[in-house]
Amino acid sequence: MTTHASNSYRVDPHISQRFYINGQWSEPVSPASLPVVNPATETVVAEVARGMAEDVDLAVAAARAAFPGWSASSAASRAAFLGKIHELILERKEELAQALSLEMGAAIGFARAMQVPLAAEHVRVARDLLTRYRFQTLEGSTAIEREPIGVCGLITPWNWPLYQITAKVAPAIAAGCTVVLKPSELSPLSALLFAQLVHDAGLPPGVFNLVNGSGPEVGEAIAAHADIDMISITGSNRAGALVAQAAAPTVKRVTQELGGKSPNLLLPDADFAKAVPLGVMSAFRNVGQSCSAPTRMIVPRDRLAEVEALAAATANAIIVGDPQSEDTVLGPIANEAQFKRVQVMIEAGLNEGAKLVCGGLGRVAGHAKGFYARPTIFSEVDSSLRIAQEEIFGPVLCIIAYDTLDEAIAIANDTVYGLSAHVQSQDLDQARAVASRIRAGQVLLNYPAWNPMAPFGGYKRSGNGREFGVYGFEEYLETKAIVGFGE
Ligand code: NAD
């Protein structure tokens, strides 16, 4: 039996049982709370206040009152606040990493190396953009002004909790908007720390507000609120569609970052000894709980045996275990509902007759507790199978064979999603030509380094709108033409 090193992070009840509204930690209207479960031990580690529509009203009123002042503040002063927030994230990175690890099971090394630093990058990017973004341009004698859209409701998921928060909050407040954030009720601890550091950065009251709670209670109240101008949600397609429906009567802007089932197309000339292991690790990063995870590896049929052997060797060498251990590559799945969903999908793959290359049902050996799923690879997967069509959001990879390039591209495009895609080839011209035929918001050639300026978002049912860099920033702006402005 594996023993668990204990997580050093202790939740402060002064903040977990309150909301951050109008520059202070305020009492919720109801004493109700929601448990936060450590997925490594299945124990409740905190109770967070559970918001109601009335809490949302208070947060929106604060954001609305702060909007005139904040939207009229200079870009330089907003950049200075973002700079301070960036500094504080880096200063408190260990505490944030521990909170992330506790709330969603991220391996501590991964939380330190990826979850926290990449979250900080969104803040840095927003700060830097403000030094050069032109809020006014001229088209002949017409001035085009870009102005903040207003009060924004931001709804985020549990898989990259802090990163998804900064990807929305930083560009929104950089643009001059004020915000009401609802983090995932399953992983709200890093969000509370973020609110505390925003407070410590001295942001004017009401610019940033946080209300915890469930999707149907707080999320829907935000989506439907008459005094909110825009919603940005990252989450499942189900929640994204419900938010759009609730938002429709008030005609607010809705941007959605939703699911994915991203292809990884290996062209025959790819360096398989590198491309396959990197493909497996990319699919399983964050325990496969990334909307852009390349979970469909599309390979030439005559290379199938070689790909299976390389993929199995990679998966079998992955250390899955206690997220507090420095050696751990993958911790548990973030919560029980997701663990069960992954099991259902592995079972579907087995029942549908896909070839199991490694992994399978049940917990990783040695773990009686904790949501430890086995890294699982299926091969000879037909593109029509459920495991090839539905987002699984766990460490499950499908290997799909192709005979011709046209067929490979058709398979890559053969889902309702279009978030991200990978192409592997030693011939860059060929990789580029394939990229242009893939219907996805982002195509990555030969595993490039992450670029926080590259716009991220979905074609088809993966969503609407873009995040990151200048494209993400502009989602929070309105466009005003002043005709007859003069030269
Ligand atoms: P989820 O849809 O259950 O929850 C996401 C957020 O929406 C949570 O804060 C939740 O409380 C809220 N929510 C749920 N129902 C709501 C409703 N009716 N009204 C308003 N808000 C509601 O998703 P999750 O399980 O937290 O996250 C996993 C999903 O997120 C996956 O499908 C994944 O693909 C997607 N995701 C997408 C991206 C992206 O950028 N495209 C990034 C990360 C995750």
Structure token digits, residue 138? 């001229």
pLDDT above 90 for 235: yes
Of 50, 51, 78, the C-alpha closest to 178 is: 78
What is the best residue among 34, 155, 182 to mutate for testing ligand 1's pocket, by most ligand atoms within 8 Å of CB?
155
Provide mean pLDDT across the span 98-126: 97
Cα(232)–Cα(244) distance, rounded to whole angstroms?
A: 10
**Alpha helix (H) residue ranges in 335-446:** 336-351, 386-389, 405-412, 428-435
pLDDT above 80 for 2: no
Query: Is any atom of ligand 1 closer than 6 Å to the C-beta of 259?
Result: yes
Q: Is the dihedral of CA 229, 232, 237, 243 positive or negative?
A: negative
Provide mean pLDDT across the span 196-209: 98
pLDDT above 60 for 396: yes
Q: How far is the CA of 236 from the centre of ligand 1 (A)?
A: 4
3-state DSSP assignment of residue 461: coil
Phi, psi of 266 (to 5 degrees): -95, 110
pLDDT above 80 for 394: yes
Cα(386)–Cα(388) distance, rounded to whole angstroms?
A: 5
pLDDT score of 9:
85
Q: How far is the CA of 239 from the centre of ligand 1 (A)?
A: 6
Look up residue 109 and give its amino acid.
G
Mean per-residue pLDDT over the chain, rounded: 97
Structure token digits, residue 315? 């998966």
8 A C-beta contact, residue 70 and residue 204: yes
Kindly give, in sequence order, each residue whose CB lies less than 8 Å from that of residue 172, ignoring residues fewer than 6 positions away: 152, 154, 179, 232, 476
pLDDT score of 10:
86
Provide mean pLDDT across the span 25-47: 96
Burial of 118 (0-12, 13-18, 19+ CB in 10 A): middle
Query: Is any atom of ligand 1 closer than 6 Å to the C-beta of 242?
Result: yes
8 A C-beta contact, residue 104 and residue 186: yes
- One-character DSSP codes across 254-271: EEEE-----EEEE-TTS-
Determine if residue 463 is left, alpha or beta; phi over 0 gives left, psi from -120 to 50 gives alpha, anything else beta: left
Provide mean pLDDT across the span 463-473: 98
3-state DSSP assignment of residue 409: helix
pLDDT above 70 for 1: no
Cα(11)–Cα(192) distance, rounded to whole angstroms?
A: 9
Active site members:
257, 291
3-state DSSP assignment of residue 463: strand
Structure token digits, residue 112? 């330190």
Phi, psi of 404 (to 5 degrees): -130, 165
Which residue did the predictor score with more confidence, 189 or 487? 189
Provide mean pLDDT across the span 117-132: 98
pLDDT above 80 for 5: no
pLDDT above 60 for 444: yes
Query: Is any atom of ligand 1 closer than 6 Å to the C-beta of 220?
Result: yes
Burial of 30 (0-12, 13-18, 19+ CB in 10 A): middle
Structure token digits, residue 482? 């002043």
8 A C-beta contact, residue 51 and residue 209: no
| Distances 322 to 4, 172, 231, 362 between C-alpha atoms, Å | 6, 36, 36, 17
CA within 13 Å, CB half, 252 = 28
DSSP state of 472: H
**Alpha helix (H) residue ranges in 43-115:** 53-71, 75-91, 93-104, 108-110
Kindly give, in sequence order, each residue whose CB lies less than 8 Å from that of residue 417, ignoring residues fewer than 6 positions away: 259, 260, 261, 262, 391, 458, 460, 461, 462
pLDDT above 70 for 483: yes
pLDDT score of 3:
46
Q: How far is the CA of 402 from the centre of ligand 1 (A)?
A: 33
pLDDT above 90 for 4: no
8 A C-beta contact, residue 183 and residue 30: no
Query: Is any atom of ligand 1 closer than 6 Å to the C-beta of 185?
Result: yes
Cα(88)–Cα(120) distance, rounded to whole angstroms?
A: 9
pLDDT score of 310:
98
Q: How far is the CA of 11 from the centre of ligand 1 (A)?
A: 24
